[in-house]
Amino acid sequence: MSLEATSDLWWKNAVIYCVDTASYLDTNGDGVGDLDGLTQRIDYLAGLGITCLWLMPIFPSPERDYGYDVADYYGVADKYGTLGDLVELVRTARERGIRVIADLVINHTSIDHPWFQMARSGHPIFRDFYVWADRKPPNAAEGVIFPGKQESIWSYDRAARAWYMHRFYPHQPDLNINNPLVRNEIHKVIGFWLEVGLSGFRIDAVPFLIEQVDPDNPATADPHDYLRDIADFAHRRRGDVMLLAEANEPIGKIEKFFGEHGDEMHMLFSFITNQAMYLAFVRGDATPLADALRSLPPIPPESQWANFVKNHDEQSLDKLSDAEREEVFAAFAPKKGMRLFERGIRRRFPTMVDGDRRRMELAYSLAFSLPGTPVLFYGEEIGLGDNLAMADREAVRLPMQWADQPGAGFTTADARNLPRKLLRDGPFGYRQLNVEEQRHDPGSFLNWMERAIRTRKEWPELGWGEWRVLGTRNPAVLAHLATWDGGRVLAVHNFADVASRLSVRLPDDANGGRWRPIFGPGDGDAPTIEGDRLSGELPPYSYRWYGRRDRV
């Protein structure tokens, strides 16, 4: 393999940026961010160095789950603009070297979708687009996704005089993917957006998409056949398509979503390392993360993990034990109102650590160096906070803070009437924390992030390499090594709030040669590599990356 390969399987070394269009930039003064706003910010994103823009749902929707309840798969909601505006965005992005992907929400539709409307009125074809039962199935209350806000996964529909299945809210009926007509429709949707110019999809709720829930119609085929089917189809339509699946599953199940031969989903979010990282942070001990990394199954060469610090949902801690989750809650979500769905935190990371720059750098340095491809949520590059005054997951989907001016540079609309409230005051308010301010400050988080992205891109070993966790003789310190194509990157991260000594023995294939420091905060003396050993002391919450190439 060689460097050329990095542009082929592009997702192995991408920097993905997830954006909620409604909260990014409002260009027509109606208080809602729009597609034109995104297009205007493409140069900002290109300058930051991101290579792939992930659009959260922009489709017509009654917005009972922030657009994850689609009423029309072929359109753009009026408030965001038109399909034409989307094409302009995709084209402008492509011209700057940025690909665009979008959420594909096909586990369910909105109840407002014409398919469901026809299904409930007994339409001979559309009825079977959804999953029905004549009687209330036993265990209907089990497996709800939104505990506290959702009581059951089956609801009675009076018009249909039957029960329909919904893994999420009752207004999100599950599609019946056993029905070949539904599969055809989904193919058409995928085909449509690929023609519009998207490079792939973030596929929502994939384990639920293929679960077999129809008690009257147990399918015999391997449910993963359907994912292979989707991947085959997408590939036929576009060779470099990338499918990134949301599958928050444990080891043993998760790897199945890549497919045995890498023939299902190209990328999977690594909820496993993400949650272990939070436990490691609150303990000041790298062990939970080191253990999680060691437990990761090997993946096919074309496949990739997607690493993130914080996504657009609650920070789920569902993979931790009850006691571990309580530990994280106590440190990062001490108040009840900061928690959601009994398993997560509805804050962004910087507020969890009170804006501690050292810990922010530590977290994102991990996201950029751990095996996988980094995914940022808009605003993370400036350390955007959250607004707990907003309901549910809206707390983390607050308007982007561009400048210290009324409307935060996000909108010219009257701030009192905005659907998404601005955060004005305090250390996270737009008066203090905004893009313009950080542009002027060479030491800002924004400038740090730009450097992190640049370094990550210059060292594709991190995305492509075989990797190992190395012993450090100190549980507070994580060391990992990525090796690829004659290049190596070694990274060390100190989770403790005190300086930590470390001593790492480099494996035989990695010692010798000219190692050089490639990334770090420059806070004090860095540990150095001599012979087969990296040793020295890392300041509290500090980190260093070292690189070495045998080729020029």
Residues with a catalytic annotation lie at 204, 246
Binding string, residues 212-231; x marks residues near ligand NOJ by CB under 6 A: --------------------
Q: Which two tokens stand for residue 545?
A: 């990356």
| Number of residues assigned to the chain | 552
- Partner from Ca ion, ligand NOJ, none binding residue 30, C-beta < 5-8 Å depending on class: Ca ion
Helices (H), 203-250: 206-209, 224-237
Q: Find the shortest distance in angstroms from Cβ 60 to ligand NOJ.
A: 16
- Partner from ligand NOJ, Ca ion, none binding residue 263, C-beta < 5-8 Å depending on class: none
Is 16 one of the binding residues for ligand NOJ (CB under 6 A)? Answer: no
- Partner from Ca ion, ligand NOJ, none binding residue 437, C-beta < 5-8 Å depending on class: none
User: Three-class SS string for 488-529?
Assistant: EEEEEEECCCCCEEEEEECCHHHCCCCCEEEECCCCCCCCEE
Q: Which is nearer to ligand NOJ, 65 or 437 (CB)?
A: 65
Is 26 one of the binding residues for ligand NOJ (CB under 6 A)? Answer: no
**3-class DSSP state of 52:** strand
What gap in Å lies between CA 246 and CA 361, rounded to an integer? 26
* 8 Å CB contact between 132 and 123: no
- Partner from Ca ion, ligand NOJ, none binding residue 32, C-beta < 5-8 Å depending on class: Ca ion
- Partner from ligand NOJ, Ca ion, none binding residue 214, C-beta < 5-8 Å depending on class: none
Q: Is 475 exposed, middle or buried (0-12, 13-18, 19+ CB in 10 A)?
A: middle
Binding string, residues 24-63; x marks residues near Ca ion by CB under 5 A: --x-x-x-x-x-----------------------------
Q: Find the shortest distance in angstroms from Cβ 141 to ligand NOJ.
A: 19
What gap in Å lies between CA 336 and CA 328, rounded to an integer? 13
Q: Find the shortest distance in angstroms from Cβ 28 to Ca ion.
A: 4
3-state helix, strand, coil in the chain (%, to 5): 35, 20, 50
Residue 242 bridge partners (DSSP):
200
Which residue in 350, 261, 345, 250 sits closest to 295, CA to CA? 250
- Partner from ligand NOJ, Ca ion, none binding residue 380, C-beta < 5-8 Å depending on class: none
What gap in Å lies between CA 366 and CA 233, rounded to an integer? 35
Q: Find the shortest distance in angstroms from Cβ 534 to ligand NOJ.
A: 39
Q: Find the shortest distance in angstroms from Cβ 35 to Ca ion.
A: 9
Q: Which is nearer to ligand NOJ, 63 or 523 (CB)?
A: 63
Judged by CB under 6 A, which of 105, 265, 396, 526 binds ligand NOJ? 105
* 8 Å CB contact between 356 and 329: no
- Partner from ligand NOJ, Ca ion, none binding residue 65, C-beta < 5-8 Å depending on class: ligand NOJ
Judged by CB under 6 A, which of 104, 182, 194, 205 binds ligand NOJ? 205
List binders of ligand NOJ among 402-431 (CB under 6 A).
none
Binding string, residues 46-75; x marks residues near ligand NOJ by CB under 6 A: -------------------x--x-------
Report angle CA 131, 134, 136 to the nearest 5 degrees.
90
Q: Which is nearer to ligand NOJ, 284 or 419 (CB)?
A: 419
Residue nearest to ligand NOJ (CB): 68
Is 378 one of the binding residues for ligand NOJ (CB under 6 A)? Answer: no
Residue linked to tokens 């001490």? 334
User: Residue 80: enclosing H or E segment and its boundaries?
Assistant: none
Q: Which two tokens stand for residue 248?
A: 């928050």
Is 313 one of the binding residues for ligand NOJ (CB under 6 A)? Answer: yes
Which residue in 85, 37, 20 sits closest to 413, CA to CA? 37
- Partner from Ca ion, ligand NOJ, none binding residue 318, C-beta < 5-8 Å depending on class: none
User: Residue 200: enclosing H or E segment and its boundaries?
Assistant: strand 200-203
φ and ψ at residue 111, rounded to 5 degrees: -65, -20
Which residue in 429, 295, 281 sits closest to 364, CA to CA? 281
Is 168 one of the binding residues for ligand NOJ (CB under 6 A)? Answer: yes
DSSP for residue 242: E
Chain residues that interact with ligand NOJ, rule: CB under 6 A: 65, 68, 105, 168, 204-205, 246, 313
Chain residues that interact with Ca ion, rule: CB under 5 A: 26, 28, 30, 32, 34
